[in-house]
Amino acid sequence: MIRKPLDDVTVIDVSSYVSASFGTMILANLGAEVIKVERPEAGDPARSAGPPFIDGESPYFMSVNYGKRSIELDLKSDDGLSILRELVADADAFVENFRPGTAERLGIDYESLTDVNESLLYCSVSAFGEDGPWTDRPGYDLLIQGMSGLMSVTGEPDRPPVKAGVPVSDLVTGSWVAQGVLAGLYERERSGEGDRIELAMYDAILPYLTKHAGAVFAGESPERMGSRDPVIAPYQVFEAADGYLAVGIGSQKLWTEFCAAIDRADLATDDRFETNPDRVDHMDELEAELEATFRERPVEEWVSLLSDEHGLPVGPINDVADALENEHVEARGLLTEVDHPTAGDVPVVEHPLRFDRLESGFDDHAPVLGEDTRELLAERGYDDEEIESLAADRVIGSVDRSADRNSGEES
């Protein structure tokens, strides 16, 4: 049987929304058992993010929680805290994204949980970190994009700053979560010791400023440039006869080939455009010349000529539906479906990592709230009477959603 890289790893996820949840989903897709701990009856607030909804379930929630198991636990109760500690005792990693100080108040901070599992990897995610003058500030993706400088270089010149169309600071942070846990697991194999990983969303975004940070260090002030690039030209979107093209000419060799392919050899010998620094210095003139040429043909013709025939980095600007539904996606199997207990067959964007010897990717749906509560408790020795007592005391959810799932599978 082909296994996944993290088949023997268990992660307890008490996070909400996106930043940490995306990271634990990456771990789940690599084979880890990720147990998502949620408030009874309410769950992760991302469950109510919408519309749209599919039979009452939020696609937004699903998109960062595939492959996990869900248990409802009231962590403010003694019994709920006791159950969490039992889960942690058998786990490899624990991930939370409370505001600083909350985990300590709940008694689920690193020091408290290493009492039951001294080799635990504990990852804390917050907006601005656990020290510094902004520690107590709340933060969401929008604020982090704005405060990190990202929005200052996103959008058109002389127009208001705009955020990226996806929650990029959440997703970047989630990627760092997965990297941190994987690095911790590797180190634990060598030393046998666990560790605590502290991560701030603000900190996670700053390394991604790359060339813009480099410009600041060189004494410049980056500004919004639309789709243009500050250090490469042409590297932007151009309007064609019936739509838009992305054109990325990243070397002098490509520039010469590009000019010949569009029948504009005159541009290659123009002093204003001879080298890349020349082209960057004369972006306005270059854009005017190229846009006049691109408007002569439709997008499909340009892509066929430049990309397919000449192997140049040119492509169309797809909408999201076109990006998800095309022959390349189909050929690579990038979209699959999982069977959801209430929403039916749900399309899923597959995990991007491919291994020769190992598997990765989605095996299961995003869990219904508390779907695995009773099963997880039974696995740890709780009998039916004890479980129903916990439900009556509202330590766990009152509804046996695993029964709903099983009945749905039988019908």
Catalytic residue IDs? 170
The SS3 assignment for 213 reads helix
- Of 56, 59, 17, nearest in space to 366 by CA: 59
Question: 131 phi and psi, to 5 degrees?
Answer: -145, 170
Interior angle at CA 97, CA 334 and CA 320, nearest 5: 25
Q: Which helix (H) or strand (E) holds 12?
A: strand 10-13
Sequential DSSP letters for 67-112: T-EEEE--TTSHHHHHHHHHHHHT-SEEEE-PPTTHHHHHT-SHHH
| Burial readout 41-77 (b: 16 or more C-beta within 10 A, e: otherwise) | eebbebbeeeeeeeeebbbbbbbbbbbbbbbbbbbeb
- Classify the C-alpha dihedral 131-134-135-141 as positive or negative: negative
Would you say 195 and 177 are in contact if contact means Cβ atoms under 8 Å apart?
no
Closest by CA to 233, choosing from 270, 156, 286, is: 286
User: Do residues 202 and 128 lie in contact, with contact meaning Cβ atoms separated by under 8 Å?
Assistant: yes
Helix (H) or strand (E) holding 125: strand 121-126
The answer to whether 317 and 236 have CB atoms below 8 angstroms apart is no
Measure Cα distances from 391 to 41, 281, 402 in Å.
11, 68, 14
Burial class (CB in 10 A: 0-12, 13-18, 19+), 269: exposed
Q: In sequence order, which ranges of 192-314 are alpha helices (DSSP H)?
A: 201-205, 210-217, 252-261, 265-268, 276-281, 283-294, 299-302
Phi then psi dihedrals of residue 250, to 5 deg: -95, 5
Contacts by residues 376-380 (CB-CB < 8 Å, ≥ 24 positions apart): 376/35, 376/69, 376/71, 376/87, 377/71, 377/83, 380/83, 380/86, 380/87
